[in-house]
Amino acid sequence: MSRIAYVDGVYQPIDLPGIQVEDRGYQFADGVYEVCAVHHGQLLDEDAHLARLARSLAELSIPAPMSDGALKIVLRETITRNRVSDGIVYMQITRGVARREHGYASGLKPVLVVTARATDPNRRAAVLEHGISVVTVPDQRWARCDIKSISLLPNVLARQEAVEKGVQEAWQVDTEGLVTEGAATNAWIVDANGVLRTRPADGGILNGIVRQILMSLIGDMDVSFEERAFSVSEALSARECFSTASTLAVFPVVQIDAKKVGDGRPGPISQAIAARYIQHSLIEN
């Protein structure tokens, strides 16, 4: 079955042309996006994703193409047409189509694209059991990483470096030697003193939805927590490390730059946090 995409008001086969050449998303990366996980046909943390989408649009002065209620209908229709039970739904909004000039006129009509695809439902369990490896790379991104912009070239290059080194993710490091976040994940450690830490959600990172939810759940768990940046050396000496993202929620990190974290296996705190998030998802969704 051909995959179906929603493109600016039309449901169509994904391989048909649908975006104009002078769409500012294509020419300037002038747009934003969100990705929601789909579990048993249900969108996880949907309202939180839509709230962050609204914030990103507002930061770039791009009007919403439709109401949240209408967008929810489009998301579900795209999922249904693609017969996705477990997977992801991707939504992208660009500023619109205009003659190629860096400045833009007011009143452009934003362009919405939505796609959905299935993913392996067993991958989350495999990642939780075995963990992932990461490499560290210099953070070359712009200063507004809190906006979920489609301008992702530095993230692409970081993830490609990870792929070429045979690992699953790259952790980006700022000029002070502190980890910002992964190419497509937030970064966490359980430091040598047993304190769970992740970088504050300033302009240097994207405030991940799973990150936000875990922070709301940690109070129910027997673990000390601080929003405080950490260095690569602190990560290497940590008891545990993990990444978070909407795709698989919690990714235990068992190796950094070819050096083992702890005993080289997913640790008990990351496993407990993953279980707590899954419990939350089943209740809330």
Residues in Cβ contact with 144 at an 8 Å cutoff, skipping those fewer than 6 apart: 59, 203
Q: Which of 93, 51, 89 is nearest to 209 (CA)?
A: 51
3-state SS string over 45-72?
CHHHHHHHHHHHHHHCCCCCCCCHHHHH
Which entry of 72, 148, 259, 260 is annotated as an active-site residue? 148
How wide is the angle at C-alpha 74 spanned by C-alphas 72 and 76, nearest 5°? 70
Kindly state the helix (H) or strand (E) to which residue 233 belongs, with its residue range.
helix 232-236
What three-state secondary structure class fits 86?
A: coil
Question: How far, in Å, CA of 178 to CA of 146, rounded?
Answer: 17
Q: Which of 128, 116, 73, 104 is nearest to 273 (CA)?
A: 128
Kindly state the helix (H) or strand (E) to which residue 80 belongs, with its residue range.
helix 68-81
User: Which residue type occupies 16?
Assistant: L
- Is 260 catalytic? The answer is no
Q: Which of 74, 79, 10 is nearest to 19 (CA)?
A: 10
- What's the burial of 143, exposed, middle or buried (CB within 10 Å: 0-12/13-18/19+)? exposed
Residue 203 near residue 143 (C-beta atoms within 8 A): yes
Catalytic (active-site) positions: 148
